[in-house]
Amino acid sequence: MINYNSVRAVLFDLDGVLVDTAIYHFQAWRRLASELGYSFSVVDNEQLKGVSRVESLELILNWAGLEKSETEKADLLTKKNQWYLELIEQLNPEHLLAGSLDLLKKLQEKGIKIALGSASKNALGILEKTGIIAYFDALIDGNVVQLSKPNPEVFLKGAEVLGIEPAYCLVLEDAQAGIDAARAAGMQVIGVGQAEHLNGADLVVADLGTLVDKF
Ligand code: BG6
Ligand code: MG
């Protein structure tokens, strides 16, 4: 159960919540894994959602039973990101997920603060390309956090910048790591997607559209 009346700030994950980029991360990781001789599955991919680029590579190398030097890892990360950037080059407002824009508008109208809480280092470019950057009162992304979800740092930093206590914050997440991070931060959390991948969420919805009337 969500207590919507207590919500003073909504903290949005980016990939797979606001923008339909999760598929491009999947495609770029699968291409990299395939070059490494590893067959990357959708089940593997689920475990990478919300996880930083560096930690994702470590997981893939681990699954593939491979060891790489720091230089080799850096090259692999650069390659993955270049492929990802190519895939998202044409990103535009049409790639916003259902209900994203309506919910952002509604929250702004109601005076509820809006923050980004994303692991991505590409987040700002994506918010610009999709035309929603102006809605955000705080932008916390992979360039400013040290610790990957499920660590709560990304959401606690958001709350701090907004000056709002965690108990009045609501997180919207599509990844298990993000649900765990929100709970560790002491915030309410709604999972976006399929309930079986979102254990511990206070509520799971198929898309953000169903939330617009709650505020
Ligand atoms: C998260 C995604 O939002 O950001 C992950 O769910 C991704 O799949 C991570 O690896 C880091 O993103 P980027 O853009 O910095 O490689
Ligand atoms: Mg996500």
Residue 76 C-alpha to ligand 1 middle, in angstroms? Answer: 15
Confidence of residue 94 (pLDDT cuts 50, 70, 90): very high
Domain boundaries along the sequence of the chain: 4-20+93-214, 22-90
Find the largest Cα–Cα distance for the chain. Answer: 51
Tens-place pLDDT, residues 65-86:
999 999 999 999 999 999 999 9
Tell me what pLDDT residue 73 has: 98
Residue 31 DSSP SS3: helix
Tokens found for residue 79: 């390659």
Residue 157 DSSP SS3: helix
Q: Whose C-alpha lies nearest to ligand 1, atom 4?
A: 120
Q: Whose C-alpha lies nearest to ligand 1, atom 2?
A: 50
Tell me what pLDDT residue 146 has: 94
Tens-place pLDDT, residues 32-66:
999 999 999 999 999 999 999 999 999 999 999 99
Q: Could you tell me which CATH number the domain at 22-90 has? A: 1.10.150.240
Beta pairing class for 9-12 and 113-117: parallel
Tens-place pLDDT, residues 121-153:
999 999 999 999 999 999 999 999 999 999 999
What global pTM score does this model have?
A: 0.96
- pLDDT mean over 111-125: 98
* Residues contacting ligand 1 via CB (< 6 Å): 14-15, 25, 48-53, 56, 81, 118-122, 142, 175
Q: Which fold would CATH assign to domain 4-20+93-214?
A: Rossmann fold (3.40.50)
- pLDDT mean over 198-208: 97
Between CA 14 and CA 127 the distance in angstroms is: 9
Between CA 186 and CA 201 the distance in angstroms is: 12
Tell me what pLDDT residue 117 has: 98
